[in-house]
Amino acid sequence: MINRRTLLRNLSALPLVGGFIGSNYLLGKDGVADRTLGDKSYRDYYKELGVRTFINAAGTYTAMSGCLMRDDVLDAINYASKQYVNIDDLQDKVGERIAELLECEAATVTAGCFSALSLGLAGVLTGTDAKKAAMLPTDLTGMKSEVILQKSHHIGYAHALVNCGVKLILVETAAELEAAINDQTAMLWFLNYGNPDGQIKHDEFIRLGKKHGIPTMIDCAADVPPKENLFKYTKMGFDLVCFSGGKGLRGPQSAGLLLGRKDLIAGARQNAAPRGDTVGRGMKVNKEETLGMLAALENFLSRDHDADWKLWKAQIQHIHDAAASVDGVKPEIHVPEIANHVPSLKISWDMNKIKMDGNEVREKLRMGHPSIQTVGDKESLGITTWMLNPGEERAVAPRMKEILSGMA
Ligand SMILES: *Cc1c(COP(=O)(O)O)cnc(C)c1O
């Protein structure tokens, strides 16, 4: 690996960029030049605005701005911003490239997973009929109007479907699902992380869709890693598969992927920007995000996932050990089976010995210096390390120990 001094020497040998880069370039996470806040050519907007930044020991939470984009993504965004292109041309070509990479029939970049859910369903309802697309969401004449899902899969994000004007039909068993199917049934919707709680599993769900000729869609928003999931569900037979771009893929937070059948992706595009009289017009994806999404995906596919995992695990272990050294504290390392499938830490403690609940500890972590964001409830604290910058675990561990020991 090239060290910082060599890098700086190499960079300053380039006449065009030497002066601009100055002395504050460091090796970024991916081993390419990265900007630091110390660089005088960058304004410290957050500080100027009084917006507090924090160490993200929580995970890929939307309200916490999701993830930090990788350097490849920033390069692609920067590249894209310099020239005009036709948005549909770019979407066509990027979609083809993504479909090739993920070995599926077709793909398109959406404005997040939520947008993929809405656009995918809109495409199912209207096909490529512009007149029908203009009727959504208030007039579904001549279109189907119901989506069936399992009760245990019914979470807030299902609102993305309601945005198209459909009615959600909730069922629990396969028999109930079949009984609920009628000539108004447009689609069957599956929440991947709801799988353990639902009675109808993937295979049977797909089989029922095929048996009745009704498209199936799966929400896999937070379900990478593992990498295999990007391929698994299209190959399994779901007609549409939706991912967030700004979670584990480390792309733009306002981007996502819709993968699946060619005709349905074409229908989704009919309902998307730049077309104005559509439910999707407000889900515009700009050229920067479109290329950024592609760059994020390429980076993700080519990464050494074992090395990433090892790093996250070592960071979790470091924080675990600091917590475990405090009397009365019980840290547990676990890996959720599905959704945010990464090394995670659950810290609980004897509240007779340590007289603070989870909310109070979280608040102290958040209000301290540096500010550290975690998740959890009254009973415990939840931590992941996959969204940390390497090294930040060394700030999280002592701070947590200090708070739990009653020294802060
Ligand atoms: C995050 C999430 C979404 C929304 O994804 P965005 O990319 O933020 O639009 C949808 N469904 C599930 C299960 C999620 O976790």
| pLDDT one-digit tens code per residue, 166-192 | 999 999 999 999 999 999 999 999 999
Distance CA 396, CA 267 (A): 47
Å from CA of 258 to ligand 1 middle: 12
**Residue 241 main-chain phi, psi, to 5 deg:** -130, 130
**Do residues 119 and 159 make contact, with C-beta atoms less than 8 angstroms apart?**
no
CATH code for the structural domain at 4-65+307-404:
3.90.1150.180
Q: What pLDDT, on the 0 to 100 scale, is given for residue 407?
A: 83
164: left (phi over 0), alpha (psi -120 to 50) or beta: alpha
Distance CA 66, CA 59 (A): 7
The number of the ligand 1 atom at minimal distance from the alpha carbon of 244 is: 7
Q: Among 50, 86, 53, 85, which Cα is nearest to 68's? A: 53
Domain boundaries, the chain: 4-65+307-404, 71-302
Q: In the structure encoding, which two tokens stand for residue 19, read together?
A: 């002066």
Q: In the structure encoding, which two tokens stand for residue 90, read together?
A: 């770019």
Q: What pLDDT, on the 0 to 100 scale, is given for residue 315?
A: 98
Q: What pLDDT, on the 0 to 100 scale, is given for residue 19?
A: 31
Distance CA 236, CA 123 (A): 21
- Is residue 387 scored above 90 in pLDDT? yes
Å from CA of 223 to ligand 1 middle: 10
Binned at pLDDT 50, 70 and 90, residue 121 comes out as: very high
Burial zone of 402 (CB within 10 Å; 0-12 exposed, 13-18 middle, 19+ buried):
middle
- pLDDT over 90 for what percent of the chain? 89
Distance CA 238, CA 176 (A): 20
- Is residue 310 scored above 90 in pLDDT? yes
DSSP string, 106-175: EEEEESSHHHHHHHHHHHHHHTT-HHHHHHTTT--TTS--EEEEEGGG--GGGHHHHTTT-EEEEE-SHH
Mean of pLDDT values over 293-302: 98
The number of the ligand 1 atom at minimal distance from the alpha carbon of 66 is: 8
For residue range 43-82, list pLDDT tens digits in order: 999 999 999 999 999 999 999 999 999 999 999 999 999 9
Å from CA of 242 to ligand 1 middle: 9
Q: In the structure encoding, which two tokens stand for residue 151, read together?
A: 């009760």
For residue range 248-283, list pLDDT tens digits in order: 999 999 999 999 999 999 999 999 999 999 999 999
Q: What pLDDT, on the 0 to 100 scale, is given for residue 26?
A: 45
Would you say the CB of residue 159 lies under 6 angstroms from ligand 1?
A: no
Mapped onto helix, strand or coil, the DSSP state of residue 84 is coil
Distance CA 387, CA 4 (A): 24
Q: In the structure encoding, which two tokens stand for residue 104, read together?
A: 């599926």
Would you say the CB of residue 66 lies under 6 angstroms from ligand 1?
A: no
Q: In the structure encoding, which two tokens stand for residue 138, read together?
A: 């208030």
Q: What pLDDT, on the 0 to 100 scale, is given for residue 25?
A: 38
Would you say the CB of residue 223 lies under 6 angstroms from ligand 1?
A: no
Would you say the CB of residue 242 lies under 6 angstroms from ligand 1?
A: no
Distance CA 251, CA 70 (A): 7
What DSSP element (H or E) covers 349? strand 344-349
- Is residue 11 scored above 50 in pLDDT? no
Tokens 């880069």 locate to 21
Distance CA 24, CA 400 (A): 31
CATH class entry, domain 71-302: alpha beta
- Amino acid at site 59: G
Q: How many Cβ atoms are within 10 Å of 14's Cβ, its own excluded?
A: 11
- Is residue 6 scored above 50 in pLDDT? no
Q: What is the mean pLDDT of the chain?
A: 92
Of 197, 219, 223, best ligand 1 pocket probe by most atoms within 8 Å of the beta carbon: 219
Would you say the CB of residue 219 lies under 6 angstroms from ligand 1?
A: yes
- pLDDT over 70 for what percent of the chain? 90
Burial 318-349 (b: 16+ CB within 10 A, else e): ebbebbeebeebebeeeeeeebbbbbbbbbbb
Å from CA of 397 to ligand 1 middle: 29
Residue 393's contacts (CB-CB under 8 Å, 6 or more residues apart) are 315, 316, 318, 319, 385
Q: What pLDDT, on the 0 to 100 scale, is given for residue 356?
A: 96
Would you say the CB of residue 157 lies under 6 angstroms from ligand 1?
A: yes
> Are the folds of 4-65+307-404 and 71-302 the same?
no
Tokens 């928003």 locate to 221
Binned at pLDDT 50, 70 and 90, residue 10 comes out as: very low
- Is residue 128 scored above 80 in pLDDT? yes
Å from CA of 53 to ligand 1 middle: 23
Tokens 């000729």 locate to 213
Q: In the structure encoding, which two tokens stand for residue 97, read together?
A: 């490239």
